[in-house]
Amino acid sequence: MKNIWQILVVDDEEVMCESMAAWLREDGYRVDTASRGKQAVEMAAQTDYAIYFIDLKMPGGMDGIETLMEIHRIHPEASVVIITAYATVDTAIQAMKEGAQEYIVKPCNPQEISMLVSRIIKVKNLQRENAILRKKLTRQYNYRDIITKSARMQDILQLTQDIASLRSTVLIRGESGTGKELVARAIHFSGDRGNKPFITVSCAALTETLLETELFGYEKGSFTGAGAQTKGKFELANGGTIFLDEIGDISPKLQADLLRVLQERAFYRVGGSEEVRVDVRVIAATHKDLQQAIRDGHFRDDLYYRLNVIEIRIPPLRERREDIPVLADHLLERIAREFGKEIASVSEGALRMLMDYDWPGNVRELENAIERACVTTRTRVLTEADFAFLEREVSARRAWSVPAGVPLEEIERRAIIATLERTSGNIKEAAAALGIDRSTLYDKLKRYEITR
């Protein structure tokens, strides 16, 4: 890792420059030298060096401090080490005031300079790693990753951008697999809170008690096994955003608790008497019709209105078929790269198949289909043959005689059981086959009291 870092040594004395450069090169760094401040500034404009060693006293215009100031104008984060033969308190103070990271008197002990260099480089490595990770995060979740040509989706993206920096609660509605979490992340990471936590809670995956402790945390001793005070997701998300997925599935008690958090931005930990205040933006999502749930008495209307300050409805993929080709291209590129396979494109015929298909599992189902085709294909172009399994699903659907007069819930229950049997109880596979996400499947298992 060492040799990626470049160091600039600036001194009017050639012997000093060359010997210092030679010594640093033995340590694996790439080292350049400059004999004048002006030359150093020009070089800094071309290359962002990890460390600048600058002699304080240089004839011919710019001295060390001036050079330091000029370099800082170009690279405010530059690590500058001022070198001097005559230590005076005044110059040391001035150098530090102007932002020198270190001030050393030559000659110095090899150990001192070796430790100084490794200390600065260690920080540089961490900063670089941090920058890369941040870039990865935002790259993963920014708007560019919501691939769309559809005018309706473009409007949604514009809306998410407009509301990114607000604190208003957002309710995202859409079928399973339409990318509700992706939209939530895009809102979070594009807004002022982007560098703060984004915490996801799948409300359908947990029982009421577990969900309560998950959301609000608990005090030591509040129940058997509560060994230490534990922060809940609301506290972890402080300053950032909490994403409550499958909000339509929470119990009446939690609905009341959540309403209180939304109204007062405060809550109590389970078993606690001390009020905890948080600054959290809430984004909730559901695939359910909450207004119907209100009419049925399953969802509180006051909570609904608190959540539904800004509503975003993501259309299913079948209502924006124009997105299928661009999504297919994008997914193919990503999946092929992940698999290390050279797959260039989707053939015309295969694309027609993808366009004709209804995608009940939406983008997630499309993603699974492309992944499956990438795994099985032996060619550089995905053809109709690679998507033959879709045909089978379509014909299976067509051939399937729908039992009339059976409650829909019963049909759904049977479908889930049959799928779980086929996947030997593997929830992930079953959810993918059913075209729903895992949290939705958990929710249905709970509702139909199905045990794996």
Partner 1 sequence: MPIGAVPEELLAATERTVAEWFPFDPYRLPPLPMPAAAWQPERGQYESVTIMKALAAACPPDAARLLGLTTADIAIPMLSFLFGQAQFNGPIALVSVSRLRQDFYGLPPDGELLVERLAKEVLHELGHTCGLIHCADPQCAMSLSTHVGLVDAKQASFCAVCGSHLVRRLTSSNG
Would you tell me which residues interact with partner 1 (CB under 8 A)?
A: 2-3, 13, 15-16, 18-20, 22-23, 25-28, 83, 106-111, 113-114
Name the token pair of 380: 């550089």
**What is the C-alpha separation between 384 and 395, in angstroms, rounded?**
15
* Shortest Å, Cβ 71 to partner 1: 19
226-234: which pairs have CB atoms within 8 A and are 24 or more residues apart?
Answer: 226/270, 226/271, 229/269, 232/269, 233/199, 233/201, 234/261, 234/267, 234/276, 234/278, 234/280
- Between 3 and 158, whose beta carbon lies closer to partner 1? 3
Give the helix/strand (H/E) hosting 230: strand 230-231
- Between 55 and 386, whose beta carbon lies closer to partner 1? 55
**Contacts of residue 408, Cβ cutoff 8 Å, sequence gap at least 6:** none
Phi/psi at 256 (nearest 5 deg)?
Answer: -65, -45
Cα dihedral value 245, 247, 250, 253, nearest 10: 120
Name the token pair of 219: 């005090």
DSSP single-letter state for residue 240 = S
* Shortest Å, Cβ 82 to partner 1: 13
* Shortest Å, Cβ 23 to partner 1: 7
Say if CB 350 and CB 387 are below 8 A apart: yes
Name the token pair of 312: 């975003």
- Beta pairing partners, 171: 284, 311
Q: Which residues of 432-449 are buried (b: 16+ CB within 10 A; e: fewer)?
A: bbbbbbebbbbbbbeeee
Closest CA to 182 of 142, 242, 153, 132: 142
* Shortest Å, Cβ 309 to partner 1: 56
Say if CB 112 and CB 104 are below 8 A apart: yes
* Shortest Å, Cβ 2 to partner 1: 7
- Between 45 and 108, whose beta carbon lies closer to partner 1? 108
* Shortest Å, Cβ 26 to partner 1: 5
- Between 10 and 343, whose beta carbon lies closer to partner 1? 10
Phi/psi at 402 (nearest 5 deg)?
Answer: -75, 120
* Shortest Å, Cβ 230 to partner 1: 40
Closest CA to 11 of 71, 75, 83: 83
* Shortest Å, Cβ 108 to partner 1: 6
* Shortest Å, Cβ 51 to partner 1: 13
Can you say how many angstroms the Cα of residue 450 is from the centroid of all Cα atoms in its chain?
33
* Shortest Å, Cβ 3 to partner 1: 8
Q: How are beta strands 266-268 and 275-277 bridged, if at all? A: antiparallel
- Between 34 and 83, whose beta carbon lies closer to partner 1? 83
**What is the C-alpha separation between 211 and 214, in angstroms, rounded?**
5
* Shortest Å, Cβ 19 to partner 1: 4
Residue 408: count other Cβ atoms within 10 Å of its Cβ. Answer: 7
